[in-house]
Structure 1
Amino acid sequence: MEFLELTRDHTVQRPSIDLDDLTPEPAGFRGEVVLQFARIRGGDQSDVTGEGSLTRTMVEEVNLSGAHLAPLEMTDVVFRDLDLSNGTLREVTAQRVEWQQCRAIGLNLHLSLATNLFLDGCHLDLATIAIDRVKGIVVFRRCSLRETTITGDLSNVVFLDCDLAAAEFTGSRADGADLRTSRLDNTRGLSTLRGAIISGEQAASVAEQLATEAGLTVRSG
């Protein structure tokens, strides 16, 4: 097992993949998909509809924009440089899954269960992200989530150096959620994140927004 220490407080378990064990395969996400010990590099799979499972698989530089994949089970999977813009991934179970430098503007992502999910350097602006259950940790690092809607169980969901400007939260749970290093300009729904951690500087900057959400009227003088 390989662990990545992101901060003093946060460590994520990485996918268990040995590149020497992977077999090159063409991109094919239409219909029933069963990929094991596969490495896929390149290919246009835009607007496909499919379902299935990926196990110990690496997918790189594939165009999945507009694709609809549901349900989808992923275990020990790496996505790198994918285009998932305006796609739909629903009923997703993700265990030790890593997204690296993916473009996913307008993505509709529904996670039934997320266990050690790590998204690094991804563009998720205008997306909709719903999480039913977190086991372990979910980490967004250096991601853009501008105007993104994020709902559900946000327990142990960590945002490191992310842009959450104009994002909207509706959290059912948020114990262990951490937003301390992220941008919160005009971020809405923070009052639903009971148990989440923010910095003192952030608390001062979002005080008026929190007061408004609580039904208070803020007036000077």
Structure 2
Amino acid sequence: MKIEQPKIGKELPEANFQEIYYKDEPYLDACIIANCSIDRESIDKIVLSQVVFKNVTFSDVYFRNIELTDVIFDHCDLTNADFMGGSIHRVEFKDSKLLGINLSDASLGNVLFESCNLNLSAFGYASIKQVKYDRCSLESADYYECTLKKVAFDACRLNEVNFSRTPLKGIDLSSSTFQRLTVSLEDLNGCEVSADQAIGFAAMLGLTIKE
């Protein structure tokens, strides 16, 4: 599956996140923010375009309805960040910690999560299209009543993920690992799984498999 990469210039000036407060509207564009901490910030409808965050820690941030376009998070810590209702397009999260991040009600398109910790993350009611999770840990993540279209889970850890009321037709889970998922039988229709995973699902349904 092809993911559109962020469209970002090679030579970006360094910026300080506090510069956002000197503008009429809460936005930043065409810059790099590196080696810092963004603490206790609460901004509604912040807009970030062509921004690279490198080695940045976000602590107690509430950026609901955030708009992210052509943005890269590289080795960042977004633990418990609140991006509820966000619009996230052509964005990459690389080697980052997103433990407990809130992306519920968000719209994600052409997004890459690569080698990220997304345990306990919340995606409930989100629209997720053209998104790839590559070697990520998603244990106990919540995808309640999501729309998944052209979504790839490659070599991910998915134990205890909640897919309740989320159709998995066309979703390939075969390269990922899990002991248990929360998912209904009807929503598994058309999902691609490995032979071992199929045996596990059969056991969840109470079937006894004879060799």
Instruction: With the length of structure 2 as denominator, give the TM-score of the two structures.
Output: 0.86
In structure 2, the residue matched to 1:140 is 133
Any idea what SS the aligned residue of 2:111 has? strand
In structure 2, the residue matched to 1:26 is 16
Moved over 6 A (4+): none
User: Could you give the per-residue CA deviations for residues 63-109 of structure 1, whole angstroms, max 9, x where no partner exists?
Assistant: 11321111111111101111111221111111111000111112211
How far is the alpha carbon of 1:18 from its aligned partner? 1.9
Does the 8 Å contact 1:29/1:48 carry over to 2?
Answer: no
In structure 2, the residue matched to 1:4 is none
> How many pairs are equivalent?
204
In structure 1, the residue matched to 2:110 is 116
Find out whether 1:198 has 2:193 as its counterpart: yes
Consecutive unaligned residues in structure 1, runs of 5 or more: 1-9, 212-216
Whole-angstrom distance in 2 between the partners of 1:173 and 1:30: 40
The residue type equivalent to 2:121 in the other structure is A
How far is the alpha carbon of 1:206 from its aligned partner? 2.4
In structure 1, the residue matched to 2:157 is 163
**Higher RCO structure (Cα 8 Å, ≥6 apart):** 2
Query: Is 46-55 or 35-44 further displaced after alignment?
Result: 46-55
Find out whether 1:95 has 2:89 as its counterpart: yes
Structure 1 residues 112, 193: CA separation in 2 closer, same or farther (over 3 Å shift)? Answer: farther
How far is the alpha carbon of 1:30 from its aligned partner? 7.6
Higher strand share: 1
User: Could you give the per-residue CA deviations for residues 98-121 of structure 1, whole angstroms, max 9, x where no partner exists?
Assistant: 000111112211253221110001
In structure 1, the residue matched to 2:31 is 38
Whole-angstrom distance in 2 between the partners of 1:111 and 1:158: 20
Whole-angstrom distance in 1 between the partners of 2:191 and 2:209: 29
Structure 1 residues 197, 207: CA separation in 2 closer, same or farther (over 3 Å shift)? Answer: same
Query: Is 147-156 or 106-115 further displaced after alignment?
Result: 106-115
In structure 2, the residue matched to 1:49 is 42
Any idea what SS the aligned residue of 2:180 has? coil
Whole-angstrom distance in 1 between the partners of 2:208 and 2:169: 32
1:149 pairs with one of 142, 147, 154:
142
Amino-acid identity (%): 24
Any idea what SS the aligned residue of 1:89 has? coil
Does the 8 Å contact 2:164/2:183 carry over to 1?
Answer: yes
Whole-angstrom distance in 2 between the partners of 1:29 and 1:117: 26
Structure 1 residues 30, 200: CA separation in 2 closer, same or farther (over 3 Å shift)? Answer: farther
In structure 2, the residue matched to 1:7 is none
2:3 pairs with one of 12, 18, 23:
12
Consecutive unaligned residues in structure 2, runs of 5 or more: none
Whole-angstrom distance in 2 between the partners of 1:120 and 1:156: 16
In structure 1, the residue matched to 2:183 is 189
Instruction: With the length of structure 1 as denominator, give the TM-score of the two structures.
Output: 0.83
Find out whether 1:82 has 2:54 as its counterpart: no
Whole-angstrom distance in 2 between the partners of 1:14 and 1:218: 44
